[in-house]
Amino acid sequence: MKIMQDSIFMSSLRAFFTAFFAVIGAIVGLTILIFALYGIFSLADDDKLPATAKVMPDAAGSRKKLDSDTPVLLQISIKGIIGHDDLTAEKIETVLLKSREDELKDSRVKGVLLVIDSPGGGVNDSDIIYRLVQQYKERYNVPVFAYVDGLCASGGYYIACAADKIFASDVSIVGSIGVLSSPFMNVYDALTKIGVNSMTLIAGKGKDEMNPLRPWKPGEQENYQQLVDFFYGRFTEVVTKNRPRIEAEQLVQEYGAKVFPVNKAQELGYVDVGDVPLSDVIRELSLAAGINEDEKYQVISFETKSWWKRTFKEKSPFVTGKIKHELALPQMEGGNGVQYLYSR
């Protein structure tokens, strides 16, 4: 009887350890698979990923996918800080290129709609996106409309100037034609008080201009101010060229970098039509694109970020097992980057 009990006990023990190590092995295998997939897809440059088409609501609210020869309106999201995350010049260029490839080739795209909710951002990305949209419009002879759905300030308005018409929702804010440099701070006096000295080795006259670790010389900021003035001149040129109701002298001397509610923005010429829903803008764009009222069409947008990247990104709770509650302010381009950015 004792031998039988020992045999049952050993069998149970073996079964337990077999099941235990099988579970451990499965967990380890799954973990390795997850990180292998993460590694593979994280190696891909997000900017190079193929964009994924998505059917958006048309003027009637329909998102039904239609035949491959149906006319298309391309909707581009300009939301967030320009130059960060998915709102970069390279990703917008990817969207524009994809809109002429594969199922959308043969000039299916008849018009472009920019949906804007942005405080602006980097000077370079704002200018490149503006020029990309302008070039697309001229090359393919399609109408471009902009719809402000919230905030269209600074670099956001810079991009909106590429549109033939600018529309806005009833609570939108528009404007802030100006240039902002990140602040320069001098810590020389504070460091001196605690006995800290520094030395910067340079070659080239003015290479360490605005060095925060030494006293600044009179007029040292002039070179940077010239850059700010240059970008501001470019901005005002773009606005007055594309918005004929806004005169250069008025813009510089009177309007400045102010933002305006939609009714005032329409009065001053910043927008063409205010207090209008998105569906009405889509309908008007379809007509401007030569699509008859009784003709079917589709509104298409593109997602340039891979869902793998969103799922397995470095700070994803799925990977880290941690959830953070924090306000993270995006870093501006460069230590003292110049921005077309609305700053409240």
Nearest to 121 by CA among 94, 89, 147: 89
Q: Which of 77, 126, 154, 301 is catalytic?
A: 154
Q: How many residues does the chain have?
A: 344
Q: Which of 207, 217, 258, 296 is catalytic?
A: 207
Structural tokens at position 141: 């002879």
Active site residue 154: yes
Nearest to 125 by CA among 330, 268, 332: 332
Q: Which helix (H) or strand (E) holds 7?
A: helix 2-43
Active site residue 62: no
DSSP 107-166: TTEEEEEEEEEEEEEEHHHHHHHHHHHHHHHHHHT--EEEEEEEEEETHHHHHHTTSSEE
Decide if 78 contacts 118 (C-beta within 8 A).
yes
SS3 (DSSP) at 287: helix
Decide if 53 contacts 10 (C-beta within 8 A).
no
The per-type count for the chain, helices as H runs and strands as E runs, is 11, 10
Distance from C-alpha of 95 to C-alpha of 135, rounded to nearest angstrom: 14
> Which residues are marked as active site?
154, 207
